Amino acid sequence: MDNDTKFSKLTLTQILSINYRSAAIFEKYNLDISSLGGKTIKEACKEAGIQHERVLSDLASLDSLKIEIPVRVDEWELDFLVDYIINNHHRYVRNIIPVITMHLEKVVSAHGKRHAETIEALKIFSVVYKEFKQHMMKEEEILFPYIKYLVKVKNGENKFEKPYFGRIANPINMMELEHQSAGENMYTIRRLFNNYTPPADACETYRVTLRELKEFEEDHHKHIHLENNILFPKAIILEEQLMTGQAV
């Protein structure tokens, strides 16, 4: 079965669960997972008014179908998954963002005149920096503690009380919008840098910075996959079960 046939029968969400890198392709074509996730590529493209052949051909070019996320993550308890996201992804983001910023600043001062794209990329990355800091703080102080609380309620260690934000879907919707914004900004940076291809006159710092940005974007896709496609849908179901008193 070729990739075209394989992908054309799956929904966007199913393709994402096979390969998180497809998120970048969906972003490229403005295929919004939150509204089109349940549709096949053909259906989603028809709705978005774009040619499905182009999306399928980009998907076919993904280098691997391997899921590069932790093994058996789907079986993890949600409190463990929350801790994994904080300790693995949030920590990485907090450590690497200042490093990338510093490297980008060096690249701008050395190459900015000949490569205006570096100036634009630094501007966008500083937005990513600011937004990420606030986003992770909101997750760590509001959403994630609530998910851990839900697990405690499920285990009989706490009584269920409705949160001040109403339903978990409210903060989740906001987090998903913020994920999308970061994804779009990273996609713009990738485009500015021609898929992170160093120009012929790039110095070593330039090359390293592009590798760091590429790694950062890939980590972002894994991170978002764990949240949007695993943690959030499961947390919504868990809250629903606890609210309606269904046995879990």
Binding site for Fe ion (CB under 5 A): 227
SS3 229: helix
Residue 79 vs 117, nearer CB to Fe ion:
79
Residue 139 vs 239, nearer CB to Fe ion:
139
Residue 77: CB minimum distance to Fe ion, A: 19
SS3 11: strand
- State the Cα–Cα distance between residues 109 and 97, nearest whole angstrom: 18
- State the Cα–Cα distance between residues 64 and 68, nearest whole angstrom: 10
**DSSP letter for each residue of 125-176:** HHHHHHHHHHHHHHIIIIIHHHHHHHHHHHTTSS-----TTSSTHHHHHHHH
| Amino acid letter, 139 | E
Residue 93: CB minimum distance to Fe ion, A: 10
SS3 76: coil
Residue 110: CB minimum distance to Fe ion, A: 33
Residue 133: CB minimum distance to Fe ion, A: 12
For the chain, the maximum distance between any two Cα atoms, rounded to a whole number of angstroms, is 64
Residue nearest to Fe ion (CB): 227
Q: b/e for 116-130, b at 16 or more Cβ within 10 A?
A: ebbebbbebbeebee
Residue 82 vs 213, nearer CB to Fe ion:
82
Residues present in the chain in total? 248
- State the Cα–Cα distance between residues 239 and 153, nearest whole angstrom: 10
Residue 27 vs 227, nearer CB to Fe ion:
227
Residue 50: CB minimum distance to Fe ion, A: 27
**Cβ pair 242, 160 in contact under 8 A:** yes
Residue 228: CB minimum distance to Fe ion, A: 8
Residue 217 vs 227, nearer CB to Fe ion:
227
Residue 170 vs 194, nearer CB to Fe ion:
170
Residue 227 vs 239, nearer CB to Fe ion:
227
Residue 188: CB minimum distance to Fe ion, A: 19
